[in-house]
Structure 1
Amino acid sequence: MIAQQPAERRALIGEYVLGLLDDEQAAEVRALIEQDEEAARMALDWERHLLELTDQLPAQAPSAQLWPRIQASLGIARTPDHSAWGQWWNNLLTWRLTSAALAMALVAALAPGLWQGETATGYTVVLQPPGETAQPGWVVHIAGDGALRLEPLMQDEIPADRSVQFWTLVDPAIGPRSLGLIEPGKPTVISAEQIGEVQPGQLFELTLEPAGGSPSSRPTGKVLYIGRAVVASVN
């Protein structure tokens, strides 16, 4: 049973975002978020708050077992590669795996021609479902010239009467800004003029909205994927 008191409901939604509820409770809260605008806002507030907290955590050296677990969860074959490229790849992901390194690895795996042959400083964002750290759904590349490319990592089934909308948030006091609708499963390119200046830690997210997009200037539906920008320098 969903709590009716605002404080209790907010706490319950916080537990949902953290992944602490059992399957039955989680399904109830998920349905509430999809149907109730205020509940959706609470969930979004929790996600942003928790992301801000994780940004404050000190970097931790990963264990040698971390990369094999990530490979297994993503279905990546672990065939030994003795080439210079393979040695660099394995060394980077095994011993220097941080948020930025993971994002860079996805850039190398999914867009090997991006920025090839030139030095560029840009940003990368790994978008993941809220509360799930092992199942990235999209990766965002922001090149040195400011252009953005949104690349899908999986195919989502979206109802015909819904749309997926892309958002970014720089200043919470100003609120999120829409970057337009995207077509699930297909890459999207957005110009530097539309993106504007990007900052480290800038929030990007995809939400499920009514057909044609949010009826307001704010997200109103379920957050499908969310992540923050990390600096990526590619030579």
Structure 2
Amino acid sequence: MIPHDPEERRALIGEYLLGLLDASDAAEIRQLLEEDQDAARMALEWERHFLELSDQLPPQQPSPALWTRIRHSLGTTDTPRSGLAASWWNSLLTWRLTTAALAMALLVAILLPLLQAPQVEGERYTVVLQQPGQAAQPGWVIQVGGDGTLQLEPLVADRIPEGRTLQFWTLQDPADGPRSLGLVEAGQPLHLPAERIGAVQAGQLFELTLEPAGGSPYNRPSGPVQYIGRAVLASAN
């Protein structure tokens, strides 16, 4: 059964992508990814995280015993290969490319419905807002479309103290100072039109701060930063 709690659901999707679920649970997650855009977005975030981790690992040559297990699991014979065939089979690059192809196929299957929307000319940006500090935890994600519109999506369900509110800010030029983009309800998405956002550029700062009810009494953040991140160019048409 698919959990309703966002964090439990996120963890289950991560286990699915690592191949840790049994057939029944894996089938439920596959159906969820096909039908739920938020779940598909979680899967993409996990894929990026796992790829970043794998890129940090030094290359390792599998042992002969491991190759035997791999061949056995694939239903192939252990008959020694010679020449070009043996070189191809034992190539670490071949297995990396195969793994990458499988991962790409999974991403295409998951995200194809999201990618079939009509494309709009312009640059697209993504911002992952994280908690400040070394043990940063993603809390929100921002998508700036090619038409300049902004979509702020929650990844966690924050509990805001009574009498306080979250306020959304951006900083493009330090000389101009931060600019408020409005108040945000915890755990709820926010859509802003292009004219409200203005031009966005790579490296532009976005943050959520904890402010008094009604927002900061100044033209700048007055409370602690809850989440912060910078814009990254996702695509340019």
The TM-score range, normalised by the shorter chain, is 0.5 to 0.7
**Which residue does the alignment assign to 1:11?**
none
8 Å CA contact 1:122, 1:141 repeated in 2: yes
Q: How does 1:33-182 map to 2 (within 5 A)?
A: 75=11, 76-79=13-16, 80=19, 94-95=50-51, 114=114, 116-119=116-119, 121-182=123-184
User: Is 1:194–2:196 an aligned residue pair?
Assistant: yes
**Which residue does the alignment assign to 1:104?**
none
Backbone CA RMSD of aligned residues: 3.6
CA distance in 1, matches of 2:50, 2:217: 45
Q: CA 1:111/1:183 → structure 2, altered by over 3 Å: closer, same or farther?
A: farther
**Which residue does the alignment assign to 2:22?**
none
* Residue deviations 1:163-194 (CA, integer Å, cap 9, x gap): 11000000011100000001110000001000
CA distance in 1, matches of 2:232, 2:15: 27
Query: Is there any run of 5+ residues in structure 2 with no aligned partner, and where?
Result: 1-7, 20-25, 35-39, 56-107
Percent of aligned pairs with the same residue? Answer: 55
8 Å CA contact 1:167, 1:180 repeated in 2: yes
Greater RCO, CA 8 A, separation 6+: 1
CA distance in 2, matches of 1:221, 1:112: 40
CA distance in 1, matches of 2:181, 2:156: 20
Give TM-score, length-normalised by structure 1: 0.55
CA distance in 1, matches of 2:52, 2:161: 40
8 Å CA contact 1:164, 1:183 repeated in 2: yes
Q: CA 1:187/1:214 → structure 2, altered by over 3 Å: closer, same or farther?
A: same
- The count of residues paired between Structure 1 and Structure 2 equals 151
**Which residue does the alignment assign to 1:214?**
216
* Residue deviations 1:75-94 (CA, integer Å, cap 9, x gap): 2433338x9x99xx687654
Q: CA 1:211/1:195 → structure 2, altered by over 3 Å: closer, same or farther?
A: same
Report which of the two structures shows the higher radius of gyration computed on alpha carbons.
Answer: 2
SS of structure 1 residue aligned to 2:14:
coil
* Residue deviations 1:14-38 (CA, integer Å, cap 9, x gap): xxxxxxxxxxxxxxxxxxxxxxxxx
Give TM-score, length-normalised by structure 2: 0.54
Question: Which of 174, 198, 205 is equivalent to 1:203?
Answer: 205
- How big is the shift at 1:160? 1.9
**Which residue does the alignment assign to 1:227?**
229
Q: CA 1:132/1:153 → structure 2, altered by over 3 Å: closer, same or farther?
A: farther
SS of structure 2 residue aligned to 1:218:
coil
